[in-house]
Amino acid sequence: KLTGVVFINISDFGIIPIEAKKGLFPIAVIRKNMSKTNLAAFIMRIMSKNYFDYMEFPFSQKDILKILEKVNAKEESERAIIYFKNSGAKEGLLCQYLCSIIGSSSKLREICKLAGEVAPTDLPVLITGETGTGKELLARGIWRLSKRSNKPFVAINCASIPENLLESELFGYEKGAFTGAEKTKIGKFELADGGTIFLDEIGELPLPAQSKILRVLQEGTFYRVGGNKEIKVDVRVIAATNRNLEEMIAKGKFREDLYYRLNLIHLHLPPLRERKEDIPYIVECIVNKYNEKLNKSIIGASKDYIELLKNQTWEGNIRELENTVVRSMIICRDNILSITDLVFLNQNKKVVKEDSFEEILKKQIRLCIENGNINEIQEKIEKIIIETALDYTKYNQVKTAKLLGINRATLRKKIQKYGL
């Protein structure tokens, strides 16, 4: 029996904060033709106000049945759900230039929906995604919608700080803790007290620092370097990485208990190549962001311009796209971006060509380097070569050894080493 499903037309009445109540399932109704530029951020704001879901109007009977199925499933498990009180999340635009969550692709909508739901809570969040996908921007969006939005947002890139200085940066140090420590210095966690700390590239943290962060998550306390006084802080942790933390756990390079603490809420930002339909809206966002800075008055882009951008691979994701658009804006002598403003790109490449073997290999090697697995590259390649040769000779070790130019004893050792 469904008595608590309420449809609210927020297109006319605005986003009304809803107090979470058992048995109440408010559904936000938005116009299907609303601007795609602000749609993802709009959905994120909706879900931060305790709405159960959203629907686009006009909707069909099938859409309504789909919502009711979700409500039924929710009612079945509602006894085990703990609701958080409405935080009175910050009104207004989520983030004027939050280009990483601009668009309308289904993947992006799901991310923003979950981000909006978790924003008013104090739960830790783990954001994953390739370099340049906008992990810090999403973290800032969550902070802006949280009850900590009037407190500090402190960001630190764990990969950019030498290992011997990392603990001092994160947790501070006492006077005399080491040579050169002439006075006490507070660390990033103390600076973020009451607010949010963003730990970018958390996979680069050494194990001792990981242990201290785990203690902060569990107890809310830590010690400065060289100190014996326990420091207590109230900090929300949002972490990000482009590495596979589960693989690092298996290799003993990342603490499993810390991973499970952080991975309570996991948001994965897809690479730009998987959401190319969002490129026109991202370009619009970038243009709006830089028009004033570049003293421009660009109001649009041609179809050829957008198509050429869609035909790129964008290994650097949003960051690379932003650099490309800004460069084209500098070149542009009109108020419409055209294909001639992308003269620095290969304009004859109308479709993405299939990569050569050498290019594929280079990409894989580059990926291993980025993931800190440089020592394993040679072994990975050797394993593939031996495995392929064994398949070719139907596992005839004499023929395989001859094919590879090594003796049988060496081949046996390699087979045992790689589990072939």
Residue 186 has pLDDT above 60, yes or no: yes
Start-to-end C-alpha separation, the chain: 59
Question: Residue written as tokens 């730009």?
Answer: 272
Mean pLDDT confidence for 249-277: 93
pLDDT band at 388 (very low <50, low <70, confident <90, very high): confident
Residues 6 or more apart whose CB falls under 8 angstroms from that of 256 comprise: 249
Determine the distance from the C-alpha atom of residue 71 to the mean position of all C-alpha atoms in its chain, rounded to a whole number: 29
Instruction: Tokens for 345, please give them.
Output: 């790109």
Average pLDDT taken over every residue of the chain: 81
Class of domain 357-418: mainly alpha
Q: Which of the residue ranges 57-66, 163-172, 306-315, 404-413 would you say has the lowest mean pLDDT?
A: 57-66
Domain ranges of the chain: 5-79, 106-269, 273-348, 357-418
Determine the distance from the C-alpha atom of residue 252 to the mean position of all C-alpha atoms in its chain, rounded to a whole number: 24
Residue 254 has pLDDT above 80, yes or no: yes
Q: Do domains 273-348 and 357-418 have the same CATH topology?
A: no
Q: Which of the residue ranges 80-84, 197-201, 258-262, 277-281 would you say has the lowest mean pLDDT?
A: 80-84
User: CA dist 130 to 59, 99, 155, 360, 380, Å?
Assistant: 35, 16, 18, 17, 22
CATH code for the domain defined by 106-269: 3.40.50.300
pLDDT of 374: 64
If phi > 0 it is left, if psi is from -120 to 50 it is alpha, else beta; for residue 407 that is beta
pLDDT of 91: 30
Instruction: Tokens for 400, please give them.
Output: 């395989």
Residue 11 has pLDDT above 70, yes or no: no
Beta bridge partners of 199: 156, 239
pLDDT of 137: 87
pLDDT band at 78 (very low <50, low <70, confident <90, very high): very low
Q: Which of the residue ranges 34-48, 86-100, 213-227, 360-374 would you say has the lowest mean pLDDT?
A: 86-100
Question: Residue written as tokens 């103390």?
Answer: 190
Who wins on pLDDT, 224 or 371?
Answer: 224
SS (H, E, C) the chain: CCCCEEEEEHHHHCCCCCCCCCCCEEEEEEECCCCHHHHHHHHHHHHCCCCCEEEEECCCHHHHHHHHHHHHHHHHHHHHCCCCCCCCCCCCCCCCCCHHHCCCCHHHHHHHHHHHHHCCCCCCEEEECCCCCCHHHHHHHHHHCCCCCCCCEEEEEHHHCCHHHHHHHHHCECCCCCCCCCCCECCHHHHCCCCEEEEECHHHCCHHHHHHHHHHHHHCEEECECCCCEEECCCEEEEEECCCHHHHHHCCCCCHHHHHHHCCCEEECCCHHHCHHHHHHHHHHHHHHHCCCCCCCCCEECHHHHHHHHCCCCCCHHHHHHHHHHHHHHHCCCCEECHHHHCCCCCCCCCCCCCCHHHHHHHHHHHHHHCCCHHHHHHHHHHHHHHHHHHHCCCCHHHHHHHHCCCHHHHHHHHHHHCC
pLDDT of 77: 41
pLDDT of 351: 42
pLDDT of 21: 63
If phi > 0 it is left, if psi is from -120 to 50 it is alpha, else beta; for residue 156 that is beta
Residue 112 to residue 33: CA distance in whole angstroms: 19
pLDDT of 347: 46
pLDDT of 73: 67
Class of domain 273-348: mainly alpha
pLDDT band at 243 (very low <50, low <70, confident <90, very high): very high
Q: Give the pTM.
A: 0.63
pLDDT band at 74 (very low <50, low <70, confident <90, very high): low
pLDDT of 1: 42
Q: Angle, to 10 degrees, between the axis of helix 106-118 and the axis of helix 36-47?
A: 30
